[in-house]
A and B are shown apart, each in its own frame.
Chain A
Amino acid sequence: MSRVSAPCLLDRWTEENNAIVDKWKQHRDRGDAVTREQGLTLLKCCYVESHKLLQKIQGVLAVPAHVQLELTVVYNCCLFSFSQTQLTEAEHLLTHSLERGMKHVHTHTALGAVGCDRPPPNPPVFWCMVLKSLGSTPSLRSCALHLLCLSWALWLSTCRLGHIQELQEELQSLSEGLVAVEVAVERSAVRPAVLVHPRDLKDLLLICTVIAQGAELLCEGRCSEALTVLQRDPSPLAPRELLAQIHTLIGLCLSRTGRPHSAMQCYRKALETDVRCVCALHQSILVYRQLGNTQAEIQALRLLHSVLMMPPATQPAVAPPIICPASLLPGQSLSSLLIVPSPLSVLHSLAQKCVLHGRQGVEHYLDLLAALQSDHQLSQGFSEAPSLPRLPELYLEAGSSLLTAQRPTDCLALCDEVISTTLELLPERLLLEEPMEASVPGSPDKLGLGQDRLGVVLWSGAAYLLQGHCYSHLKDWKQAVTHYTRCINLLMKVSVKQKGCVKLELGVRTLQRLKGMALAGRGISFTHRDQKRESLRDLQLSLQAAPGNYRIKFAGLWLTEVLWRLGRRQEAAAFWEKTQSSSTAPSLEGVPLYLLDPQTGPSLDLTDLQRRVEEFVNAQHS
């Protein structure tokens, strides 16, 4: 009975298989006639159908004539599973079918039933066995090679590069094998169709393997080895995005081995290959920054942001390919290498760079704030790159840029928001012990603000300081004094207990700088209110509060001026000398943008002061 029906069944199953494959291929070739959604649905549908077919086939005892069909169906089925990211299912299916096939071959050809009961746990060993047992029959051998490709893909997408390494030779020999098999298979009349030609699959897998291996080596710091792996001659038919990735990775290797200019070349090549290779753009920004080419950096940032803000590449109307490179390259190391900051952080970098280098960064800041307030950012995707500062700091930076852009009222409003948010959280007193003990990562945080306690004070204080700046800009000296005083009072709540002479933490440095700024600001305001004594006191305190490298340069100049006005010309001249002699510019590294010397506000005619002092000194000498 089964004998009679077998050929018939075989044909039907083959037809069924081919029908599924045709359906899929037709859809793929039809182009824009269908939407992506429909494509996905079709894919899902095909996946279900092929599995049903496989179940039917595997429900019958294996017959030699069936094996080839069965394995082909398995191949298609696994590809569909792969497309549905059912990797474990695919793997299970694969192993199971191969075992079945091997068992069948063994029973029929009586080729020594050596240890076929249980597959060895190690896939490479298992594969060696498979190839050995199935390799004798050409038709089966081709099927086995197909499945080996599939297995390769599975290993890649589950980051088991070790297996690939071990089966290097077999994989290398795949191409010849596949060609040979094809010739052999050509002869058979009814041929079960395959979804993706194994040769195409093999090419894709090859380049993906190169990328994965290169990235792995690069992450381990073996740059030269990575370079050799990556610089293997890639197939020119490989997808462009993968080629661009290879170029980028090569660039990374070069830049890490201290060849930034060569790296730049590679990045350019990557961008030429694929315009959407944003990571190459990002990396070139880093190189520009390293090279100190601000101009180029800002331009690149602007470009990067606009690329990132572009709507995602119009998805090809057709369904996604059965196997997309992304699913083959899930490795953490690669994604960490090719990471691109979020659009918001790019925007922030752009804004910050613009403000720091005298460009108008306000609009960028406003764009940034608007983006933050809206919830569009959700759809802009998340990124684990931590490059945005804390939001209050962002607000303060935006505020200071607004002030720079002569928009004090907007700045006042923005600062008000920061103040109102932080107001309730301000501690009565705060004792900091230097050095602060670092919190153990991973352990449950102390409930509440924890590390933010100092931050809250600093943000609130800086907001008051900026408001003071705004009022001095508006020449409302009374309000300015009020706000500077608020800032100072707030900062007085923090007491720092210093243990030993260690380098001060950033927070404490910021605190000192802030205190100095506020005192200086109040001193200058007092000068304008003609309260010279208070002014003198505050300016002197300011210089004490922020000593050394963090000293506030304009405070010294104003002190000279006040002394001069008070008639203490001798002291003024002496102080002038001192200010001029310590010519080293204060290092403002790590100092937040909003704590830099204000660009606006009361100005001092330095040349006039200098002339007066010098005249006085000359008169003295003479």
Chain B
Amino acid sequence: MEARCAVVETWAEFGCPSPGTAAKVIWSGEDVLICTGGDEVSVFNTQELKLTAILQFLSPVCHMVLSEDKQSVYAVCESDGVYCVSLPTLHPKSPTPPADQSPGPALIKVSSNSLAARDEGVCSLIEVGGSGGTLVTVSLRDAAWWFTLYKAADHQKLTQFSLPVVSVGHHVESEENGSAGLVMRPVLACVYSSDAPPLSSSSSSTTTKLPRLSSSLGIKHFLLEPLLFKLLFGVDAALINSPMILCGLPDGRLCSLPLLLPGRSGPCVRVLHSMEQPIMFIGTTTGTNDGPQCLVAVGQWGGVVLVRTCEGGPEEGGKVAALTEGCVSGPVVCVCAGREGLYYSTGSDLLALDLPGVREEAPKPEESLVVSHGERQGQGQAMVRARESATLQSPVSLNVCRVIALAGPSRNASGIVQLVALSLRGRLQRLTLPKGTETGGIPRLPLSQVGQRVRDLLAAIGDVCERASVLKSTIQSKNHSLRHLNQVLNVCCLLLANQNSGEQLPVSKKPIRCHVVAKWSRLLQRDSLNLTCVLDNSSPYILERNWTFCVRVLPLSYPLPAGGENTSQTFSFPFQKLEPGGRMEVSLPLTAAGDTSFPVTVSCSLTYSLQSLLGSEELSRLLANGEPASRLGLEGGWVSLPLDTLTVDWLDALQVTGTTPPHRDPNRPPISPDTVSMDIVEAFVSTRRCRGSGRGDGGGGGERMVASDGGLFSASIKVSTELLRRTLGLEPPGSAGPSQGVCGSVLGWLLSQGTGEEDWRGRGDNGGQESSVVYARCLGRHTVKLTAKEVTVGDTSDKEAVEVRVQCSSMAAVCGLHHAVLSRVQALLQGTASTQESSMGVQGLGLRQALQRAQVLSEHLQEARIPEAIGLGMTTGQTTKTLFSVYRQLRENPLLIL
């Protein structure tokens, strides 16, 4: 069984109600009237939470009810009869002395003047129609139940009806039942047809229209569906809108008495049904699905009778009143009716029972419902008969025990249901029921307010939704940032660890590595050199957005610019998403045609902008908040991780054309006239630029000199064959016959990073064995001839060496290439620095010559510098010429590199 806990709040304590008397609680507006069986009735104010008045009667009060207009209370005293006390007299507003801040409860002695009807036998009563209405009392006298009608105004007896008592043994039974030995009283309720106009009080026009809702607190007046009203009480009562008095007798009979029906033949008091157990409660309810009001009665031993309208049988059709009997576990001590169900106390627990609403199908004649919650009483299985649809739901426990009197319920604006209860110990408690106890616990609103309410609710839902989505996005962006940060840190650690520990880590083993290839491409009749950088990501991390791949190109040697500014260029490529194992290839224009001074250093790095840690939205929000970006430490907040530094030199920029001089090819004029002219112009321009500005004349002279030299400039490098063999891993000469491999291999090695090597290799095989020649176009579109030839160095001992000669018409190209070859060889030598010693003697072979040459050159140099030093005579042209020849001399006769 479903259980919910009601919140119990104890308001006040009264003495223990003496057993055998009926405790009673009436809740009317702000006042709660409590009667515990003594001769006092306490009035408790729910607003101030204190006792405001005590009514003292002459004898013990055994029953009390509120008048329909709630202006007076009727109390039945054991030995006197019915007293009527006007309620407004209990609130003397003005005469209360204001100085007395907390006046105690006013003790009001009810004198015999207030006696409304002297009848010792009155068991129960009800008042209908306010002060102009009727008072109906029920008393047991002479083996009959007497229904006596009094005028409410002056308590004049109008008439009385009787109904013979059927069984007198019920008192004994109830005592056997042991439920505190309560004296059973008849239960009275007044039922109106819900379409009847309110009963206007005839005598006094001052009485306002009475609140005629069953939900109105404190009074037992109910509305009934008009059809059911007609079916139960006849057409006559419906025609004149007579209120019906319903009486549940302790012998279980449910009787009805029309209040406004004179002269009706037959007995006025009609027995509608017999429950065969003392009736504890009569009321109406709409049921859970908010249908028309139906009649409900509850017996002391848990019997529940529900009278509803439903379709008649197939024989007659039409509508009939159907009676559904159910059972909940008793004993029922007290009951009060909610809108859709009942609240009842068994003494050990307070339960809420939802009643079903309308039913469409015809009732089975033998149908009756038994629903019990036997597990509470430990009696085992619930006795539910097979054919019963679960019309009575099982009650919901509210977990409040020892309630002996209930009043209410009231429902506040937020739909919370509250009851007022009196416990066995005499505690006055307010029970706040959990929401949803009464299903569909939406407060009743007038239709006009429903729309407004719905709009409000929707707006509230919208607000909450908006707030939730904002929070969600914030959390998401934070997560996002954290993930990014984590990833950035991971990448940083990875790369920095590489730098620290394994500086010598081979390129191929670096987790993130890049290599650079220079490639010529021809576009729109122009050749351009493009640098292609390939980044390999073999790390386990994804390089996502916000990472940038930066390539910085810096000429190794550059002319001092006029402004002194750095001539480096930085290219950055943002990543889209580079998965582990993926590669990114970027290409950047290195030069259009030789306007860059080679060699250049290419530094690759990964950068990360801290700014991008924050999402763009968050950033904009922060900025919008007025936080300057600098405060956030975002400006210039970069993480830069160097990857690799590479050099691109003249060799890399060579464009191999073949092993034969290009101009011999008849099909392809090597240098078309315009190209040539272009070449010349460009060379001119570039040379001038290289030489720097401000020396225009001299530059021109130099160039002319180059041109006028009639031939080619050349430079050569000699490298020991043995060294080459060793370092390049070539075969020894004798082993595999022809040793053509050395020269070819050397050229191949030198050009391996250049372009067009495949072409060259294809033809190179056909070339001479002892020497290899490669023609290539270099920057500035000069044709370069690279020759590798085996020579023997030294006079005495054969020392084989390979001479690499660079010949070109451009001095700059020769210089650049020479430098490039040298740096290659240097790098080669670095790798094999600690190799075994060769014969040291060999080295001496050319030393003398070399020294001599150097001496000569030194003299040349001195000669060239003297005039300048002394500041006279020689033109710059002459000086340059001299220096140039010295340079050439130096390049022509190199030392052998071992």
Which residues of A line the B interface, CB within 8 A?
A: 41, 44, 48, 84-86, 341-342, 344-345, 372-388, 390-392, 395, 417-418, 421-422, 424-431, 441-445, 447-449, 452-453, 455-456, 459
* In the complex, residue of chain A having the shortest beta-carbon distance to the beta carbon of B241: A373
> 30 A-B contacts, Cβ less than 8 Å apart?
A41-B113, A342-B262, A375-B202, A376-B202, A377-B260, A379-B158, A381-B159, A382-B159, A390-B235, A391-B235, A392-B236, A421-B235, A421-B238, A424-B227, A426-B318, A427-B318, A429-B315, A445-B271, A445-B272, A447-B272, A447-B307, A448-B231, A448-B232, A448-B320, A448-B321, A449-B234, A449-B320, A452-B234, A452-B235, A455-B235
* Distance in angstroms between the alpha carbons of A353 and B203 in the assembled complex: 32
* Distance in angstroms between the alpha carbons of A505 and B227 in the assembled complex: 28
* In the complex, residue of chain A having the shortest beta-carbon distance to the beta carbon of B267: A441
* Distance in angstroms between the alpha carbons of A156 and B268 in the assembled complex: 29
CB distance from B115 to the nearest CB of A (A): 8
* In the complex, residue of chain B having the shortest beta-carbon distance to the beta carbon of A392: B235
**Which single member of B236, B270, B321 contacts A391 (CB below 8 Å)?**
B236
* Distance in angstroms between the alpha carbons of A85 and B118 in the assembled complex: 8
**Which of chain B's residues have a CB closer than 8 A to the CB of A86?**
118
For residue B273, CB closer than 8 A to chain A, the reply is: yes
**Which of chain B's residues have a CB closer than 8 A to the CB of A391?**
235-236, 239-240
Residue contact B235 to A387, C-beta cutoff 8 Å: no
* Distance in angstroms between the alpha carbons of A392 and B239 in the assembled complex: 8
Residue contact A417 to B239, C-beta cutoff 8 Å: yes
Q: Please list the 5 inter-chain residue pairs (A to B) with the smallest Cβ-Cβ separation, ordered nearest first.
A: A428-B317, A388-B263, A382-B159, A386-B265, A427-B318
For residue B714, CB closer than 8 A to chain A, the reply is: no
CB distance from B216 to the nearest CB of A (A): 20
**Which of chain B's residues have a CB closer than 8 A to the CB of A44?**
112-113, 115
* In the complex, residue of chain B having the shortest beta-carbon distance to the beta carbon of A448: B321
For residue B339, CB closer than 8 A to chain A, the reply is: no
* Distance in angstroms between the alpha carbons of A443 and B166 in the assembled complex: 11
* In the complex, residue of chain A having the shortest beta-carbon distance to the beta carbon of B160: A382
**Which of chain A's residues have a CB closer than 8 A to the CB of B235?**
390-392, 421-422, 425, 452, 455-456, 459
CB distance from A106 to the nearest CB of B (A): 33
Q: Assuming the A-B contacts A391-B235, A392-B239, are A425 and B230 also in contact, with contact meaning beta carbons closer than 8 angstroms in the complex?
A: yes
**Which single member of B134, B231, B265 contacts A425 (CB below 8 Å)?**
B231
**Which of chain A's residues have a CB closer than 8 A to the CB of B318?**
425-428
CB distance from B268 to the nearest CB of A (A): 8
**Which of chain A's residues have a CB closer than 8 A to the CB of B226?**
424
* Distance in angstroms between the alpha carbons of A433 and B322 in the assembled complex: 23
* Distance in angstroms between the alpha carbons of A342 and B264 in the assembled complex: 11
**Which of chain B's residues have a CB closer than 8 A to the CB of A417?**
239
CB distance from B368 to the nearest CB of A (A): 13
**Which of chain A's residues have a CB closer than 8 A to the CB of B262?**
342, 344-345, 377, 380, 382-383, 388
**Which of chain B's residues have a CB closer than 8 A to the CB of A384?**
159, 268
Residue contact B236 to A428, C-beta cutoff 8 Å: no
**Which of chain B's residues have a CB closer than 8 A to the CB of A418?**
239
Chain B residues 294-322 with CB under 8 Å of chain A are 307, 312, 315-322
CB distance from B189 to the nearest CB of A (A): 17
* In the complex, residue of chain A having the shortest beta-carbon distance to the beta carbon of B318: A427
* Distance in angstroms between the alpha carbons of A552 and B320 in the assembled complex: 35
In the complex, besides A429-B315, A445-B271, A447-B307, 10 extra interface pairs with C-beta distance below 8 angstroms are: A378-B133, A379-B202, A379-B203, A382-B149, A383-B262, A391-B235, A425-B227, A428-B316, A428-B318, A448-B232
Chain B residues 222-271 with CB under 8 Å of chain A are 226-227, 230-232, 234-236, 238-240, 253, 259-260, 262-268, 270-271
* Distance in angstroms between the alpha carbons of A48 and B882 in the assembled complex: 158
* Distance in angstroms between the alpha carbons of A344 and B319 in the assembled complex: 32
Residue contact A428 to B312, C-beta cutoff 8 Å: yes
CB distance from A622 to the nearest CB of B (A): 60
**Which of chain A's residues have a CB closer than 8 A to the CB of B164?**
442
* In the complex, residue of chain B having the shortest beta-carbon distance to the beta carbon of A41: B113
* Distance in angstroms between the alpha carbons of A251 and B232 in the assembled complex: 43
Residue contact A431 to B234, C-beta cutoff 8 Å: no
**Which of chain B's residues have a CB closer than 8 A to the CB of A382?**
149, 158-159, 262
* Distance in angstroms between the alpha carbons of A426 and B115 in the assembled complex: 48
* Distance in angstroms between the alpha carbons of A48 and B238 in the assembled complex: 47
Residue contact B264 to A388, C-beta cutoff 8 Å: yes
* Distance in angstroms between the alpha carbons of A548 and B234 in the assembled complex: 33
**Which of chain A's residues have a CB closer than 8 A to the CB of B253?**
444
Total interface residues in chain B, CB < 8 Å: 53
**Which of chain B's residues have a CB closer than 8 A to the CB of A447?**
232, 272-273, 307, 321-323
* In the complex, residue of chain B having the shortest beta-carbon distance to the beta carbon of A45: B112
* Distance in angstroms between the alpha carbons of A429 and B272 in the assembled complex: 24
**Which single member of B133, B316, B320 contacts A430 (CB below 8 Å)?**
B316
Q: What secondary structure prevails in chain B residues at the interface with A? A: mixed
Residue contact A427 to B263, C-beta cutoff 8 Å: no
**Which single member of B158, B266, B274, B319 contacts A381 (CB below 8 Å)?**
B158
**Which single member of A379, A427, A449 contacts B151 (CB below 8 Å)?**
A379
CB distance from A608 to the nearest CB of B (A): 44
Residue contact A378 to B260, C-beta cutoff 8 Å: yes
**Which of chain B's residues have a CB closer than 8 A to the CB of A387?**
263
Residue of A381, A383, A456 with most partner-chain B CB within 10 A: A381
* Distance in angstroms between the alpha carbons of A422 and B307 in the assembled complex: 20
CB distance from B208 to the nearest CB of A (A): 16
* Distance in angstroms between the alpha carbons of A373 and B232 in the assembled complex: 20
Residue of A379, A385, A429, A431 with most partner-chain B CB within 10 A: A379
CB distance from A557 to the nearest CB of B (A): 35
* Distance in angstroms between the alpha carbons of A343 and B303 in the assembled complex: 43
Residue contact B260 to A375, C-beta cutoff 8 Å: yes
**Which of chain B's residues have a CB closer than 8 A to the CB of A428?**
312, 316-318
**Which of chain A's residues have a CB closer than 8 A to the CB of B315?**
429, 431
* Distance in angstroms between the alpha carbons of A448 and B239 in the assembled complex: 16
* Distance in angstroms between the alpha carbons of A452 and B320 in the assembled complex: 12
**Which of chain A's residues have a CB closer than 8 A to the CB of B267?**
441
Chain B residues 270-287 with CB under 8 Å of chain A are 270-274
**Which of chain B's residues have a CB closer than 8 A to the CB of A425?**
227, 230-231, 235, 318-319
Residue of B149, B235, B263 with most partner-chain A CB within 10 A: B263
Residue contact B234 to A429, C-beta cutoff 8 Å: no
Q: Assuming the A-B contacts A373-B240, A447-B307, are A344 and B263 also in contact, with contact meaning beta carbons closer than 8 angstroms in the complex?
A: yes
CB distance from B572 to the nearest CB of A (A): 88
Chain B residues 174-221 with CB under 8 Å of chain A are 199-200, 202-203
**Which of chain A's residues have a CB closer than 8 A to the CB of B200?**
375
For residue B129, CB closer than 8 A to chain A, the reply is: yes
* Distance in angstroms between the alpha carbons of A445 and B256 in the assembled complex: 11
* In the complex, residue of chain B having the shortest beta-carbon distance to the beta carbon of A375: B202
Q: Assuming the A-B contacts A391-B235, A417-B239, A447-B273, are A378 and B158 also in contact, with contact meaning beta carbons closer than 8 angstroms in the complex?
A: yes
Residue contact B274 to A444, C-beta cutoff 8 Å: yes
* Distance in angstroms between the alpha carbons of A84 and B81 in the assembled complex: 12
**Which single member of A341, A375, A392, A421 contacts B129 (CB below 8 Å)?**
A375
CB distance from B264 to the nearest CB of A (A): 7
**Which of chain A's residues have a CB closer than 8 A to the CB of B234?**
449, 452
**Which single member of A84, A376, A383, A449 contacts B159 (CB below 8 Å)?**
A383
**Which of chain B's residues have a CB closer than 8 A to the CB of A41?**
113
* In the complex, residue of chain B having the shortest beta-carbon distance to the beta carbon of A386: B265
Chain B residues 682-737 with CB under 8 Å of chain A are none
Residue contact A386 to B202, C-beta cutoff 8 Å: no
**Which of chain A's residues have a CB closer than 8 A to the CB of B112?**
44, 48
* In the complex, residue of chain B having the shortest beta-carbon distance to the beta carbon of A459: B235
Residue contact B263 to A386, C-beta cutoff 8 Å: yes
**Which of chain B's residues have a CB closer than 8 A to the CB of A373?**
240
**Which single member of B203, B239, B264, B271 contacts A386 (CB below 8 Å)?**
B264
* In the complex, residue of chain A having the shortest beta-carbon distance to the beta carbon of B316: A427
CB distance from A82 to the nearest CB of B (A): 13
CB distance from B79 to the nearest CB of A (A): 10
**Which of chain A's residues have a CB closer than 8 A to the CB of B118?**
84-86
Chain B residues 112-160 with CB under 8 Å of chain A are 112-113, 115, 118, 129, 133-134, 149, 151, 158-159
**Which of chain A's residues have a CB closer than 8 A to the CB of B272?**
444-445, 447
Residue of A85, A425, A452 with most partner-chain B CB within 10 A: A425
